[in-house]
Structure formats: structure tokens, C-alpha cells
Amino acid sequence: MTTFADLGLAPELLEAVKDVGYEAPSPIQEQAIPPLQRGLDVIGQAQTGSGKTAAFGLPMLQYVDLDETEVQGLVLTPTRELCIQVTQALRAYGARKGVDVVAVFGGAPIRSQQAQLRAGGQIVVGTVGRVKDLISRHSLLLHHCRFVVLDEADEMLDLGFLEDVERILSLMPASRQTALFSATMPPEIRRLASRYLYDPVTVRVEAPTLTVDTVEQFGLEVSPRGKNDALVDVLEAERPEQALIFVRTKIRCEQLYRALRERGLNVKALHGDMTQGARDGVMISFKEGRLPMLVATDVAARGLDISGISHVINFDVPTSPDVYVHRIGRTARVGRSGRAITLYEPRQRREIEAIERHAGVKLAPWVKGAHVAPLPVTAPPRRHSKPHIRQVADGPVRKLVLAGGRATGLEPSDLIHAITAATGLDGEAVRNVRVLERFAFLEVPASEADRVVQRSDHLEVRGAPLRVELAPQ
């Protein structure tokens, strides 16, 4: 078995890897680190949760020169959640070496970020828009930047950032080393890679469709009135290193958080009604391991990708089997094992059966003090295909972007029904619906776009508010 030491990492990075609890490199790390160490450009195709941040972060940190104060490495991300997540990881990996990592993203005061850049910042992690803005203000200089990473490039494409990405790359030294990571490789991303990467090495890690191999899954039937007590019993018996507790709604999230806090548990809540600053603070505390338990809605937790989560507890049964799979995938990261426990009421047995068919397991009964492995189910049936959406006559259309995607259980039909009900549009006028992990896109007649945004924004869909805005043109 390959070890991190076999990959040629410096001693201080090997110590940092131990500090964060990594035992062995994941497949993407094993394949991507050696060519990056040799100075080669790399295209990596891998899903979130595969360990790609360490795959590009460790080689970048290794060759940072601490005697230089200029920006030596740049990581571009599509969203502020991913920017924060990558920054925290790189700071942890680079802590023993003493590398200064600065995060720059929209929605935060630009002056404080300018001050951080003036004070140092050998590696900068940023969203595309904020990086472009800081470059235009001459606050971010990339003349000496020797390493650039495009993280989740396909989401940059879907959000309309590719032109800005190309502009940023054109301002960097031609001798830089470039790494591009993407879950999918649409033609536009391939063209970007062929234009800006030099003879790249391609590494590809096929993501398993389900995470049942490394997650022990259990079910616990409870009465509606006894759910809180049952959850406390589970927490006391399991003693999780870190537990992510999922609920369906913001109200339920706040209620359960208060109930657990009143019982003396160290817990915080994470939901969409919190301010962005409060959400960031909770996420950072959880990611750094200072917070052992977090109660969260599916929407709020979509930016969390943490290797230390030992338990996922479904206090509320997920809205769909897909959401169940996404939830339990938050544990058993980068080679670790994990445990998932779902609380369900007697009336929800059919929902549990649907989850079992989709995930290919039989949930073992959770018994206090017993560690029983889940029973495999052979040849689980595949999920039905998505509804076919018929095209309408040609005409000017406008693309809309919606916050929420597969991570929140959204289907194309959910979006079509919600928008047509709110606006009175015919269902055939809503077309080219694409549901990604954290975003969704669709097109409506250009003449109706503003009205659709106005009437659809903040609609409740699958228990979560639908945020709708015009996509960049």
C-alpha cells in the first residue's frame, strides 16, 4: 500500500498529514501528487470528497519559498463555500511549514482582504469574481505566481465564469504550473485545458455511485414523541468524534439544536435563516474539530466536506433516496470508515424500504452497544429515469441559476412545477433544465425572465427556499 512518505512529501507536510488524521493517500492523491511534484500540469477528474484538495494542495505547499512574500500559488473556486473549505484545508496542511494562506471572496469587506494581501499571502484561495476585482485594483499581483489550480472547473463553466478565468490565466506567467480539477469534462473545459495547460497528465478517479462499502448503516424505529430521547441515547452510546445530524426544515433545526443544548450537549445549528457570518463561523468551528456535533438542514450543509465526521445521523428521514446517499457520503471520507443511523417513525417504513432498494443495503437495527454490519442486497434496481422535457419553439431565452441541486434532492420536475405554479407559464416554456450537485439551471423566454425571478425567488421547494437569479450573460 502506498503511503504519503512514498510520494516524496517533505517531513513537515507528512507531520501535518498525520495531524489532520490521514492514514493513507486516496486514489486521486496517489495519482496526482507525483506528477505535480515533478512540475507537470495535471488534469484531475474526481468528485467532491475524493481528497482532491490535498492532491493539489500538498505539492503546492511543498515548493512555496518562505523567504518570498509574493503570491506563489493561486486556487480559483466557483463559490465562497468551497473557497472557505479549501482555505481551511490548506492552512491545516501548511501549518507546520508556516505557509500564509489568504482567502478572498465576495460578500465580505474587500478592504480587509486587501490588508491581508498587503501583509502577506504566499497562497491565495479565491472566488473568480473577487480575484478579478482585486487584480483590477492592483491589490493582487500575480507576476511571481508559479502554481495555479482551477477547482471544480465545470461549476465555473455553469456559473458563467469561464471568460473571467481565462482573463486571470492570461495575466499569469507563461512558465506557471497549472492543475485543473473537475467532476465532469464538457467540451468547453477540454478546450480551456488544451489552451492553458502544457502537455498535461490526466488522472481520473471514478467515483463510486454509492458509499455503502465504508459506511455502516443502521435504522432505529422511534415514536414521534420519543425522537429526542432516542437521539440522545444514540449519541451517548455511539460517542461520535464528530456527528452531523440532519433535519428537514430550518424550524426543526433550531428546535432540535435548542433541545440538545438544554441537555448539556456541545452542539450548534446550521440553517439558511442564519447570517452568512454566523454560518461561516459554525462551519469553520466544525471543520477545525472544535465543535463535536452539528444539527443542519441539507441546504445549509452543502458546503461541508470534512474528513473527521465519524457519524451521520438522520433525525428526519431524507426527502428522497438520493438525498440519503448524499447525506451518508459526508462520513467515511478519504479512506475512513463511518456510521450512519436513521431515525424513522412506523409510518415511514415504506420510505426506508425505498432507501434500502436504492442504496443496495438492508439497514441493520440499531441496538445500544451493538455494532452490526449492514446486510448487502444483491442487484439493487436502478432509479427511474428523469422526466423528458419537450422543447418549445425557437425564440429568445434567458438562463436562470438556482441555488440548490442534487444535494437538496431537487429534480427537474420539482423546478418546473414550482415555477409554472408561481408564474402561470406553460410547462413547455421552462426548458433545458440541468440539476447539478449544488446548483440548477434552466431557460425561460427572455421576455418572462425578470417576472420569473421576481415570483419564484424564495419559493419553498422540498422544504427549502428556492433562490433564483439571472445567470451571467
pLDDT in tens, 188-244: 999 999 999 999 999 987 654 444 567 889 999 999 889 999 999 999 999 888 899
Q: Is the pLDDT of residue 391 over 60?
A: no
Cell numbers representing residue 76 in the block? 480559483
* CA separation, residue 244 to residues 75, 116, 135, 270, 328 (Å): 28, 32, 38, 10, 10
Q: Is the pLDDT of residue 392 over 50?
A: no
Residue 58 lies in a domain: yes
Same domain, 71 and 127: yes
- In this prediction the pTM is 0.53
Specify whether the CB–CB gap between 98 and 294 falls below 8 A: no
Same domain, 357 and 422: no
* CATH code at position 439: 3.30.70.330
Residue 196 lies in a domain: yes
Residue 162 lies in a domain: yes
User: Of 92-101, 267-276, 290-299, 300-309, which range is least confident?
Assistant: 300-309
Same domain, 196 and 221: no
Mean pLDDT of 33-61: 89
- Domain end: 177, 204, 231, which one? 204
Same domain, 125 and 11: yes
By residue range, what is the domain housing residue 231? 215-374
Q: What SS3 string covers the chain? A: CCCCHHHCCCHHHHHHHHHCCCCCCCHHHHHHHHHHHCCCCEEEECCCCCCHHHHHHHHHHHCCCCCCCCCCEEEEECCHHHHHHHHHHHHHHCCCCCCCEEEECCCCCHHHHHHHHHHCCCEEEEEHHHHHHHHHCCCCCCCCCCEEEEECHHHHHHCCCHHHHHHHHHCCCCCCEEEEEECCCCHHHHHHHHHHCCCCEEEECCCCCCCCCCEEEEEEECCHHHHHHHHHHHHHHHCCCCEEEEECCHHHHHHHHHHHHHCCCCEEEECCCCCHHHHHHHHHHHHCCCCCEEEEECCHHHHCCCCCCCEEEECCCCCCHHHHHHHHCCCCCCCCCEEEEEEECHHHHHHHHHHHHHHCEECEECCCCCCCCCEECCCCCCCCCCCCCCCCCCCCEEEEEEECCHHHCCCHHHHHHHHHHHHCCCHHHCEEEEECCCEEEEEEEHHHHHHHHHHHCCEEECCEEEEEEECCC
- Domain end: 185, 204, 223, which one? 204
Q: Is the pLDDT of residue 336 over 70?
A: no
Residue carrying the nine cell digits 450537485: 437
Same domain, 113 and 242: no
Same domain, 170 and 295: no
Same domain, 153 and 16: yes
Same domain, 220 and 198: no
* CATH code at position 332: 3.40.50.300
Say how many domains are in the chain.
3
118-169: per-residue pLDDT in tens?
Answer: 988 999 999 999 999 999 999 999 988 999 999 989 888 877 889 999 999 9
Same domain, 41 and 184: yes
Cα 388 to Cα 270: distance, rounded to the nearest angstrom: 35
Residue 390 lies in a domain: no
pLDDT computed for residue 1 by the predictor: 61
Cα 116 to Cα 102: distance, rounded to the nearest angstrom: 7
Residue 387 lies in a domain: no
Mean pLDDT of 418-440: 76
Same domain, 94 and 200: yes
Same domain, 359 and 402: no
Name the more confident of 3 and 145: 145
Q: Is the pLDDT of residue 341 over 80?
A: yes
Instruction: Please provide the distance, in angstroms rounded to a whole number, between the alpha carbons at the two ends of the chain.
Output: 48
Q: What is the mean pLDDT of the chain?
A: 83
Q: Is the pLDDT of residue 334 over 70?
A: no
